[in-house]
Structure 1
Amino acid sequence: MAEKGIPQLTFRAVLLAIILAMVLSAANAYLGLFAGLTVATAIPAAVVSMGVLRLLGGGTILENNIVQTGASAGSSIAAGVIFTVPALIILGYWQDFRYSWVLAIAGLGGLLGVLFSVPLRRTMIVEDPLPFPEGKAAAEVLKAGDNPGPGLKILGISAAIGGLVKLASGSGLRLIPETWAQSGFLANGKGLAYLGTNLSPALLGVGYIVGLNIGIVVLSGAVLSWHIAIPLYQAFFLDSDPVLAAGVAGAGAEDTAFAIWSAKIRYLGVGAMLIGGVWTLFSLRKSLVSGIRSGIAAARKGSGEFVAETERDLPMKWMLIALVLFVIPLLALYQAITGLWHVSVPMTIIMIVAGFLFVSVSAYLAGLVGSSNNPVSGITIATILFASLVLLGLLGRDSDIGAVAAIMIGAVVCCAAAVGGDNLQDLKAGYIVGATPWKQQLMLGIGAFSCALIMAPVLNLLAQAYGIGPPTAEHPNPLSAPQATLMASVAKGMFGGQLPWGMIGLGALVGAAIIAVDEWLKARGAKFRVPVLAAAIGIYLPLELMVPIFLGGLLAHFVERWHKVTDADDEAKERVHRPGVLFAAGLITGEALMGIAIAVPIWATENRDVLALPESLHFNQWIGLAVLALVGWYLYRTGKKAQPEVVSG
């Protein structure tokens, strides 16, 4: 396509990509703070692009590819920021999100992710190609772009449903609650039982997108925490913990379960994540070497040699110049934090080395399991641990800024890794449709920096309206920011803080057992796998968040069975699931954007009940459960009744 001179990087494509990137980054920021997960946005962006450019007189496949490339930065930058930057609020270092600092972390980290990922394209896409499932799916959507109408209709309807349910829920009109839960103590008060689910359509959509395998794994992790570890701790160990026992004295079963989970059991997930991050690095050591060799080979390639339009990456010379220009402001930022050159310079070196290594890891994992399943949080934990060990030697265990410095390094690396994995996914789609790589790489850089421009205002709005992190009197039901809370706990624990290291060690053993099971399944060639970081997320997060994710994955499985798609027929699966994926993406986007819209009047009036209707109009949790069931039925129906022309459109 590119060789034929078909327009790609046009003004309208760039402008539309920037707008979509900003909107989708805001939506993913809310979703990530709420549920600890973000989802890839390339396919919804491609469908919207085809519809909008058609209204403007028609767009080429390569213009639509540029739009989805830039817009997909919305998920990667949001993930990089919300997994790390809120930790600075949780640590008490910031009282609000500082615009210039968030811009520097997100914008420069994202641009470094683009630069670090460029040398990997030839190895992972051309010479030794990886599957890149979401890139292939986006390419199929782009190739079938003659009729985007059905897809836009699905997106619009589902976004409206997601938004209306969010408006009616506990943070808006309060017509229905946000959770359904049943709990109680067992005989003689020894042991307790808790069952609950969040009533969020967005989480149902997340589950549909990630599929049944991941849904089973995250729910199994939650069951381990809530149905095994918490009851055992309450029955046999609570009396030996006088502080926690006094805190839950007289409390109900649900409050007791959450108190034990918050103080003790969730740290099993921390340990599992730590061992998972280390294992990820070890298992990908060969791909790291391959990526480095590919980068060196690209740098040595003769400048006078003819390179086809579809093989032209950003020039290595200009990449090195840009790398230096982007690193200097980060060095100044680290110097402003520490005030010590002998600390800020090693911080910068760690950031550069870890950034390139973990962009390689992220790109490899995105190639295998997709960007939505890319364990960027595990990569970031490994970065923070390594940075903390170096900083311990430079600053000492009692340093006031050690934890903050480690988070600052991890934040930049996290943004770079998230963008790097996403970049390779987009380049795979471009490779299939015949795009020019350097134009895509430039567009992703523009999209990433555009998202960085709005991150601080969005985070401040959400923080003031809902609260971020642990519950407070002002915000009793905040956005939990699970990854950022985890990063803050790990960094603080390394520098004089108190952590339940026994639970973390036990969690590491659990993680090692999960890795062993997954390796056994891999050796048997099983389709079902047990990724340790997905299991760790399930252990670490509340059960109520994992249940709708599992149910969404179950719906995706039922759609496959209805269409009689076999496990071996991945291409048929992709065709069958496309309408469902669009519906799920609409649920996520609609709910997240409504969550941000609801935050505006709450922030303006400083009253979190400003939209709440009188209590006499509130429905009970069973009505909320019925609403979620109805949304699930509609999602299933969309997949089940998909006709061939809709699937291909």
Structure 2
Amino acid sequence: MQQPVAQPRQLTFRAIVLAVFLAVVLAAANAYLGLFAGLTIATAIPAAVVSMGVLRLLGGGTILENNIVQTGASAGSSIAAGVIFTIPALVIMGYWPDFKYWWVLGIAGMGGLLGVLFSVPLRRSMIVEEPLPFPEGKAAAEVLKAGDRAGEGAPGPGLRILAAAGAIGALVKLAAASGLRVIPDTWTQAAYLGSSRITAFIGTNLSPALLGVGYIVGLNVGIVVLSGSVLSWHIAIPLYQALFMHTDPALAASIAGAPPADAAFAIWGAKLRYLGVGAMLIGGIWTLFSLRKSLLGGIKSGLAAARRNTAGVAVAETERDLPMKWMLVALVLCTLPLLGLYQAIVGQWHVSIPMTIIMIVAGFLFVSVSGYLAGLIGSSNNPVSGITISTILFASVVLVLLLGKSGLTPVGSGGAPLGAVAAIMIGAVVCCAAAVGGDNLQDLKAGYLVGATPWKQQLMLGIGAFSCALIMAPVLNLLAQAYGIGAPTPAHPQSLAAPQANLMASVARGLFGGQLPWSFIALGAVVGALVIALDQWLKRTGRRFRVPVLAAAIGIYLPLELMVPIFLGGLLAHLVERFHRIGADDEDGRDRVHRPGVLFAAGLITGEALMGIAIAVPIVVSARADVLALPEALQLNQWVGLAILALVGWLLYRVGRKAEQVA
């Protein structure tokens, strides 16, 4: 009888320690980036490069050991996304005065573990039997293979690119308005046009991290998000000023005499960002409807594979998932604490039990949606916030029926409605599960391509996710004290916008006695339906350019200045492709070409985000937002900041042109 071939080392002690360390660092960085810009990035590729460099210094590591490190480290982006998209809503609504450690740990930790468990039965259908592209998983596998071919020795050019870009991103962040204040955070130009005082506004954030985000997501997504912002800021705001401002005398009085940029932001914040809410809602519903057949097929395939495993059929090491019986035990162990958490909020078993059932059902459903979308467009573009809004809306409708008038009962330090708090709690767990589930399948794709053992990856991601959950509350409290979260205040004029959390809070409050501009939400839903119709026409005619509705909705909902550098980064990625003359179908060539640029972009994002965390420490310790600010005589104007951003863009383009192996 032929003996099975032993696999190289995978789940080693040093791999686990390195993965946990990277996961925690990247979770903190992504928490800052998500609160600042409403976006997080998948961290598998930079984690793989760092892992190869570190393990080489420790004597070398196998490709599967490096894969385990990037699997665990990638939990940093998924847990951060699940937390910052939802949990800050509890502070914004006034339920918590700050972030409660054990509550955040319970929500994020249990939600993350549920994401791992729910994604296991989906692996075969989405990766093996009807494989989806999983672009970031494929790219991570290519980086791992290149590193394995390079052999042992000093850290290669990939790690040097990542480190250099990280230093650039960190230095620009240190020089910006939250640090030394040498340069401002934004470049803007605004004016009133004519006697009707219509606002004309252009601007861009000067963040290298957003430029890097744009390079990673590409020109297609960059055009779509910028188009959404143009619709909101250059069409909807002027139309509202010209035709409807007289219908809202309170808003008109609040902006009388204000600078044009401030007037535009006031109108957008009070009314027109809700166009994005409506577009997100219709986009989430459409996503569920369009994936219904794929979800059902994936569930059937996963359960069939589990039955084969339990029947004693020999299964290859590269096909072994976590055992189904242990998954069910773990599911119960995760569910019971969440049931207790919900009971602590509402104090009514006839409400907390249905809340838990909603959480389980919605969790599995939306992990499936998240995994499918991650397979199509990548984890960085995965619209987890749209998924969460759908959950909160459905949960709110059920809670209105269960709680009745008691859903309006004020709870917490700020008197948030009980029903709104309960809906956010459900949405937070589902959001963490969906983010981790999509990321898990992305990592399993990379493991499938390099011959890894699935159950070891699934276990590592669970360890990484729970490790990240341990530090999320302290990181959030640090950022809240240093910068502020939500609407700007005199104490924190440059607060972190937390756009998704603000959106969750607005929707939940609006459904429990609050005020929402439902006409704008309805109009946004119509806009979303038109975008869906356009995207379907592009699909039928075989066009490469697509218009994902949730990307357009994010563009409508977020400020214009955040979308401009994302578009510019996507344009740089397109120019790099043009320089190398990569064909439309040459995916392997495209991966090779973009690898140096993607690493440089990831370095910009990571460096800026980590510096944002570092700057927060002296601000909190001194209780002064300007503790690092240089004298005004040394502070430069916004044009210098624009020139610096242009220089960073030029460097990104030059690095992207170097089509070389970077491991």
TM-score by length of 2: 0.96
Q: Do residues 462 (structure 1) and 479 (structure 2) align?
A: yes
Q: In structure 1, what is the equivalent of residue 341 of structure 2?
A: 333
The superposition leaves residues 592-638 of structure 1 with CA deviations (integer Å, 9 ceiling, x where unpaired) of 00001000011111100100011111100000000000000000010
Q: Is the 8 A contact 1:135 1:426 kept in 2?
A: yes
Which blocks of at least 5 consecutive residues in structure 2 are unaligned? 410-416
Alignment of 1:319 onto 2:322: no
Distance 1:128 1:634 in 2: 39
Output the CA distance in 2 between the equivalents of 1:238 and 1:5.
Answer: 69
Provide the residue aligned with 1:84 in structure 2. Answer: 86
Following the alignment from structure 1 to structure 2, what is the Cα–Cα distance between the partners of residues 510 and 361? 23
Q: 2:246 aligns with which of 212, 217, 239?
A: 239
Report the equivalent of 2:414: none
**Alignment correspondent of 1:402:** 419
Q: Which residue matches 1:177?
A: 184
Of 636, 639, 645, 2:656 maps to 639
For 1:135, the equivalent position in structure 2 comes to 137
What is the CA–CA distance in structure 2 between the aligned matches of 1:280 and 1:484, rounded to whole Å?
21
* Counterpart residue identity of residue 499, structure 1: L
Q: Which residue of 1 aligns with 2:635?
A: 618
* 1:569 Cα deviation after fit: 1.4
1:258 maps to a residue whose letter is: F
Q: 2:139·2:591 contact (CA, 8 Å) conserved in 1?
A: yes
| Equivalent residues of 1:3, 1:309 under 8 A apart | no
- Kept in 2, the 8 Å contact 1:3–1:310? The answer is no
2:419 maps to amino acid: G
Q: In the alignment, does 2:380 pair up with 1:372? A: yes
What is the DSSP-based 3-state SS (H/G/I as helix, E as strand, rest coil) of the residue aligned with 2:584?
coil
- Equivalent residue, structure 1, for 2:121: 119
1:643 to partner: Cα distance: 4.4
How far has the Cα of 1:285 moved from its partner? 0.6
2:563 to 513, 530, 546: 546
- Say which SS state the counterpart of residue 201 (structure 2) adopts: strand
CA displacement 1:516-550 (0-9 Å, x = unmatched): 00000011111110000000000000000000000
Cα offset for 1:294? 2.2
> Which residue of 2 is the match for residue 525 of structure 1?
542
- Identity across the alignment (%): 78
Alpha-carbon offset, residue 240 of structure 1: 1.8
For 1:127 and 1:594, the matched residues in 2 are separated by 43
Matches within 5 A, 1:217-256: 217-256=224-263
CA-CA distance at 1:296 after TM superposition: 2.4
Counterparts of 1:574 and 1:503 in 2: how far apart (Å)?
A: 41
Name the residue aligned to 2:8.
Answer: 6
SS in 2 for 1:468: coil
Mapped contact 2:229–2:557 kept (Cα < 8 A): yes
Distance of 2:489 and 2:182 partners within structure 1: 24
CA contact (8 A) 1:298 1:316 kept: no
**Counterpart code for 2:311:** S
CA–CA separation in structure 2 for the residues paired with 1:601 and 1:395: 45
What TM-score results when the alignment is normalised by the length of structure 1?
Answer: 0.98
Q: Report the alpha carbon displacement of residue 189 of structure 1 after superposing the two structures with TM.
A: 3.4
Deviation at 1:645, TM superposition (A): 4.0
Q: Deviations over 1:231-261 (max 9, x none)?
A: 1111221122100001001111111100000
State the match for 2:532 in structure 1. Answer: 515
How far apart, in 2, do the equivalents of 1:292 and 1:335 lie?
Answer: 30
Q: Is the 8 A contact 1:77 1:451 kept in 2?
A: yes
Q: 2:304 aligns with which of 297, 304, 316?
A: 297
**For residue 156 of structure 2, what is the aligned residue in structure 1?**
149
Give the drift of 1:510: 0.3
Candidates 65, 68, 73, aligned match of 1:66: 68
Aligned counterpart, 2:492: 475
Output the CA distance in 2 between the equivalents of 1:205 and 1:645. 20
Secondary structure of 2:203 counterpart: strand
Which AA in structure 1 matches 2:587? Answer: D
Residue 193 of structure 1 aligns to a residue whose secondary structure is strand
Specify the code of the residue in structure 2 equivalent to 1:330: L
Question: How far apart are the structure 2 equivalents of 1:643 and 1:551?
Answer: 21
RMSD of equivalent CA atoms = 1.0
SS of residue in 1 equivalent to 2:218: helix
Which residue does the alignment assign to 1:573? 590
Contact 1:287 1:361 in 2 (8 A): no
Deviation at 1:3? 4.4
Q: Matched residues in 1 for 2:39 and 2:625: separation?
A: 25
Match of 1:208 among 215, 219, 234: 215
Distance 1:216 1:643 in 2: 25
Distance 2:294 2:424 in 1: 26
**Post-superposition offset of 1:295:** 3.2
> Cα deviation per residue 1:252-293 (whole Å; 9 max; x = unaligned)?
111110000000010000000010011111111111211221
Q: 1:158 aligns with which of 150, 161, 165?
A: 165
The answer to whether residue 402 in structure 2 is matched with residue 385 in structure 1 is: no
Q: Quick one: which of 294, 297, 303 aligns to 1:287?
A: 294
- Distance, in Å, in 2 between the alignment partners of 1:586 and 1:520 is 37
Q: Which moved more, 1:147-156 or 1:219-228?
A: 147-156
The code of the aligned residue for 1:114 comes to V
What CA distance in whole angstroms lies between the structure 2 residues aligned with 1:48 and 1:405? 40
**Cα distance in 1, alignment partners of residues 132 and 514 from structure 2:** 42
Q: Aligned letter for 1:543? A: L
Q: Could you list the runs of 5+ residues in structure 1 that have no partner in the other structure?
A: none
What's the CA shift for 1:116?
0.3
1:21-36 alignment runs, 5 A limit: 21-36=23-38
* Distance (whole Å) between structure 1 residues aligned to residue 590 and residue 365 of structure 2: 33
1:296-339 residue CA offsets vs partner (Å, 9 max, x unmatched): 21332243111111110000000000100111000000000011
**Structure 1 SS opposite 2:488:** coil
1:464-484, CA deviations, whole angstroms, 9 ceiling, x for partnerless residues? 000001111211221000000
Question: 1:220 & 1:341 partners in 2: Cα distance?
Answer: 47
Cα separation, 1, equivalents of 2:95 and 2:583: 52
SS in 2 for 1:250: coil
Please state if 1:263 is matched with 2:270: yes
1:154 Cα deviation from its structure 2 partner? 0.2
Instruction: Identify if the C-alpha distance between structure 1 residues 475 and 3 changes in structure 2 by more than 3 Å, giving closer, same or farther.
Output: farther
Amino acid at match of 1:187: G
What's the CA shift string for 1:330-371, capped at 9, x where partnerless? 000000001110110000000000000000111111111111
Distance 1:425 1:38 in 2: 15
Change (3 A) 1:30 1:521: same
